[in-house]
Amino acid sequence: MIKIGIIGAGRIGKVHTESITRYVKGAEVKTIADPFLNEATAEWAKAQGIAHIETDYHKILNDDEISIVLICSSTDTHSQISLEAIAAGKHVFCEKPIDHDVAKIKQVMEALKHSNVKYQVGFNRRFDHNFMAAREAVKAGKIGDLNILKVTSRDPGAPPVSYIKVSGGIFLDMTIHDFDMVRFMSGAEVEEVYAVGGVLVDQAIGEAGDIDTAIITMKLSNGALAVIDNCRRATYGYDQRVEAFGSLGQVAIGNDTDSTAVISNATGVIAEKPKLFFLERYMQAYVDEVSSFIDAVVNEKEVKVNVEDGLKPVLIGLAAKLSIAENRPVKIAEIAAQYGL
């Protein structure tokens, strides 16, 4: 039985904990640690059968029985805890992003070069059944050469402004998943970014220094073009769609719904709205990504989302931020050069 420690007992920490305790065989969450642990969270952890509940995550890093650590704490702690966990010889699953600071990501990359630990970044959409099917169609050449990739990603509502202020901005918080999805779906690298955006949902987001609506166009290394459209508000639910158009056809995926029932009568044709939010939409993907990581550790396989996959969407996000600020296309090489990459 492989023993796991989870650092961070917030929303995503709970998701991963329940994924493991309910669905992953051969693995046990021994300890969960969170400095802001309260009575309700402690009771929840006990209900999951977790034996040890701590406020100091070092109890996990110093436990020789624990071989896997999941970092689900606040973003500003990810890189530092990653470095400590790698030094302790723990295999690490780190939620995205590793950091907003590329220099700190480079420190993690350097530490990994001198260790034998496995390190996976939490881009869960790669494990979603819809996106995986579309990726396989593109990879198998069923649509010919990729010409245009379109990614739509719209949240049902904006997060609190207090979160916006520490999120790193829409490109490093929300669109980062879509940047990863462009790389995943296309099998190519983003070479150039041009972004436009505005504050169309909540003026308080603008006052906090961010935007809430954006369109990003990209040139890819395989010659294809890609476009992402984002908005912090979709009144009908969590809107997650992709279309890949190629020389021989296209593959498109729509939203998951609670059912496929469609009511047709004299008043109209009515179908279900998309699932409300990411927990409902991607719950199985969360299970599958953690299962994949544990399998990689147990059976000495390569992880499916490595530290390079964690770095590149951050570089794209920084390019998009610069594009907005200076109203021009920005090459990823320009951003990479700033960090000696």
Considering the domain boundaries, does residue 299 fall inside one? no
**CB-based contacts of 272-278 (< 8 A; 24+ apart in sequence):** 273/236, 273/237, 274/236, 274/237, 274/238, 274/239, 274/240, 275/237, 275/238, 276/156, 276/237, 276/238, 277/155, 277/156, 277/237, 277/238, 278/238
The answer on 329 and 186 residing in a single domain is yes
* Residue 120 confidence (pLDDT): 98
The answer on 326 and 237 residing in a single domain is yes
The answer on 255 and 236 residing in a single domain is yes
Considering the domain boundaries, does residue 281 fall inside one? no
Identify the CATH number of the domain in which residue 208 sits: 3.30.360.10
Distance (Å, whole) CA 60 – CA 195: 42
The answer on 146 and 66 residing in a single domain is no
Which residue, 170, 196, 165, 179, is CA-closest to 324?
196
What is the domain count for the chain? 2
The answer on 111 and 7 residing in a single domain is yes
- Domain extent, residue 163, equals 126-276+312-338
Q: Which residues pair with residue 146 across a beta bridge?
A: 246
The answer on 199 and 167 residing in a single domain is yes
The answer on 329 and 193 residing in a single domain is yes
Distance (Å, whole) CA 135 – CA 209: 35
Considering the domain boundaries, does residue 294 fall inside one? no
* Residue 112 confidence (pLDDT): 98
- What are the residues whose beta carbons fall under 8 Å from the beta carbon of 131, sequence distance 6 or more? 125, 181, 184, 185, 242, 253
Which residue, 212, 192, 190, 215, is CA-closest to 201?
212
Distance (Å, whole) CA 13 – CA 5: 11
Considering the domain boundaries, does residue 205 fall inside one? yes
The answer on 140 and 112 residing in a single domain is no
b/e burial code for range 132-144 (CB count within 10 A of at least 16 → b): bebbebbeeeebe
Identify the CATH number of the domain in which residue 56 sits: 3.40.50.720
Straight-line distance from the first to the last Cα atom of the chain, in angstroms, rounded to the nearest whole number: 40
58, 91, 117 - which closes a domain:
117
Structure tokens at 2: 């492989």
The count of residues in the chain is: 341
* Rounded alpha-carbon distances, angstroms, from residue 163 to 75, 111, 160: 11, 30, 5
What sections of the chain are H helices per DSSP? 11-23, 39-47, 58-61, 78-87, 102-113, 129-139, 161-164, 170-173, 175-186, 203-207, 278-298, 307-326, 332-338
Q: What is the pLDDT along the chain (341 residues), one digit of tens a residue?
A: 999 999 999 999 999 999 999 999 899 999 999 999 999 999 999 999 998 999 999 999 999 999 999 999 999 999 999 999 999 999 999 999 999 999 999 999 999 999 999 999 999 999 999 999 999 999 999 999 999 999 999 999 999 999 998 889 999 999 999 999 999 999 999 999 999 999 999 999 999 999 999 999 999 999 999 999 999 999 999 999 999 999 999 999 999 998 989 999 999 999 999 988 777 888 999 999 999 999 999 999 999 999 999 999 999 999 999 999 999 999 999 999 999 99
Distance (Å, whole) CA 335 – CA 341: 9
Distance (Å, whole) CA 239 – CA 244: 17
The answer on 45 and 28 residing in a single domain is yes
Considering the domain boundaries, does residue 238 fall inside one? yes
| Neighbour tally for 156: CB within 10 Å | 18
3-class DSSP state of 245: strand
Structure tokens at 294: 């544990």
The answer on 199 and 113 residing in a single domain is no
Considering the domain boundaries, does residue 288 fall inside one? no
64, 92, 117 - which closes a domain:
117
3-class DSSP state of 92: strand
The answer on 319 and 185 residing in a single domain is yes
Cis peptide bond upstream of 97, omega within 30 = yes
The answer on 153 and 131 residing in a single domain is yes
92, 117, 142 - which closes a domain:
117
Distance (Å, whole) CA 131 – CA 3: 30
